[in-house]
């Protein structure tokens, strides 16, 4: 078979066809990892060094031309899963540092004419997390509905990036999340804003309120998706780990997750975009439910040894003819504290379990931070030998 470019290889997999060899990549390469193990060089340099199929992550937002919205000039940097924030005179974002001896804490205040909402984020060298959630009273979602801005996709910048990289890399992004901290899926975004435990409790105590909350978040994402027509993305992420069955039941998934995210997938397809549905956690009880939402791909297929539940070979049999599968590699146990032969066997387990007939992209199951870099090289070396 003629050797393909990385993009050609990815597209073949999305179409559930056989490429020349197993496509293999990673989810986000975290800044901590690149700084510690690669002297702070770029993700593209890392992909090339290890002969991987590169992914370029971008997420350029723009505001409408109505004259009402504008870019947030107080935004000093763009954080993880963020883009340039869109504000207006009725939706301003203010920041202040919070005193803490252990972590870097920042309070974000969303100032509106009726009420100021606030959330606190914590961060360390590895990642960021929510310390204080934004939605503290149920009526706060009415503030979101009335004042929250709706970003648009900057199609021109997406296409400039796609043209720059040509067939050398996959151009990937995600459906817009809430400002400062959020996730692509409606349920996952709500969990970031309200907290997953109270969110679950409210599905029993006040389901009508949950549906209203999800509808508000869905409307913002829908505006963004409809603006993506003509953007040269290769695939966009939707979903989130709080929709996995290690967090919620299949019943809750089908009541509060699938109805909202499936509409976004449908709209994305109408805009000419592909969707990968991200479920970093339990997936086996809802494999067919996710596939029924008609995404183009699913991830992360995290194995049971990492705290989830996926049997890769069984998953391939159940839904491999319907979607491309991405992930499955156990980075916790086979990129650290094992032998090179163990790592090679893990690569082969993934390829033999899900690679048959194509439609599979091998990747570590989500993020990683500390590894044995030589075992990483062994992983990529073995993956290159997995040919069709």
What does the pLDDT look like over 332-373, one tens digit per residue? 999 999 999 999 999 999 999 999 999 999 999 988 999 999
Three-class HEC string of 310-355 = ECHHHHHHHHCCCCEEEEEECHHHHCCCCCHHHHHHHHHHHHHHHC
Q: Could you tell me which of 292, 293, 288, 282 has the C-alpha nearest to residue 365?
A: 282
Q: Is the pLDDT of residue 55 over 70?
A: yes
Q: What is the mean pLDDT of residues 112-117?
A: 98
> CB–CB of 320/359 below 8 Å?
yes
> Does pTM surpass 0.85?
yes
pLDDT at 121 (0 to 100): 95
Q: Is the pLDDT of residue 122 over 90?
A: yes
Cα separation, 325 vs 113, in Å, equals 46
> CB–CB of 313/275 below 8 Å?
no
The full set of domain ranges for the chain reads 6-62+147-384
Q: pLDDT, tens digit, for every residue of 294-332? A: 999 999 999 999 999 999 999 999 999 999 999 999 999
pLDDT at 13 (0 to 100): 98
Report the percentage of the chain scoring pLDDT > 90.
93
Per-residue pLDDT band at 230 (split at 50, 70, 90): very high
Task: List helix spans (H) across the chain.
Answer: 6-14, 31-37, 43-49, 140-147, 155-165, 186-194, 196-205, 207-226, 250-252, 258-270, 287-292, 312-319, 331-334, 340-354, 373-384
Q: pLDDT, tens digit, for every residue of 10-52? A: 999 999 999 999 999 999 899 999 999 999 999 999 999 999 9
Q: Is the pLDDT of residue 6 over 80?
A: yes
Q: pLDDT, tens digit, for every residue of 239-256? A: 999 999 999 999 999 999
Fold of 6-62+147-384: TIM Barrel (3.20.20)
Within 10 angstroms of residue 51's Cβ, the number of other Cβ atoms is 12
> CB–CB of 102/128 below 8 Å?
no
Q: What is the mean pLDDT of residues 104-112?
A: 97
């Amino acid at each position: 078979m003629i050797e393909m470019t990385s993009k050609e290889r990815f597209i073949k997999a999305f179409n559930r066809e056989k490429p020349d060899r197993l496509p293999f990549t990673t989810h986000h390469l975290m800044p901590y990892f690149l700084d510690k193990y690669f002297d702070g060089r770029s993700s593209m340099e890392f992909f090339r060094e290890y002969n991987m199929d590169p992914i370029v992550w971008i997420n350029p937002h723009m505001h409408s031309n109505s004259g009402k919205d504008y870019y947030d000039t107080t935004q000093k940097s763009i954080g993880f899963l963020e883009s340039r924030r869109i504000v207006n005179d009725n939706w301003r974002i203010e920041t202040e540092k919070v005193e803490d001896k252990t972590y870097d804490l920042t309070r974000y205040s969303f100032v509106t004419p009726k009420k100021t909402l606030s959330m606190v984020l914590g961060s360390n060298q590895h990642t960021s997390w929510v310390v204080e959630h934004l939605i503290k009273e149920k009526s706060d979602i009415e503030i979101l509905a009335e004042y929250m801005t709706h970003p648009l996709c900057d199609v021109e910048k997406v296409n400039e990036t796609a043209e720059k990289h040509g067939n050398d890399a996959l151009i990937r992004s995600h459906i817009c999340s809430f400002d400062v901290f959020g996730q692509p899926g409606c349920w996952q975004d709500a969990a970031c804003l309200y907290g997953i435990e109270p969110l679950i409790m409210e599905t029993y105590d006040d389901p009508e309120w949950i549906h209203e909350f999800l509808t508000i978040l869905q409307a913002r994402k829908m505006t963004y998706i409809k603006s993506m027509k003509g953007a040269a993305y290769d695939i966009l992420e939707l979903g989130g780990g709080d929709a996995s069955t290690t967090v919620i039941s299949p019943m809750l998934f089908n009541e509060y997750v699938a109805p909202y995210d499936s509409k976004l997938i449908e709209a994305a397809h109408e805009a000419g975009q592909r969707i990968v549905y991200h479920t970093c956690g339990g997936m086996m009880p809802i494999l067919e439910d996710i596939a029924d939402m008609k995404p183009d791909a699913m991830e992360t297929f995290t194995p049971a040894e990492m705290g989830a539940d996926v049997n890769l070979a069984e998953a391939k049999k159940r839904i491999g003819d319907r979607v491309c599968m991405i992930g499955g590699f156990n980075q916790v146990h086979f990129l650290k504290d094992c032998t090179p032969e163990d790592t090679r066997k893990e690569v082969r387990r993934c390829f033999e379990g899900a690679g048959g007939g194509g439609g599979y992209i091998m990747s570590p199951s989500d993020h990683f931070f500390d590894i044995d870099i030589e075992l990483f090289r062994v992983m990529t070396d073995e993956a290159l030998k997995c040919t069709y």
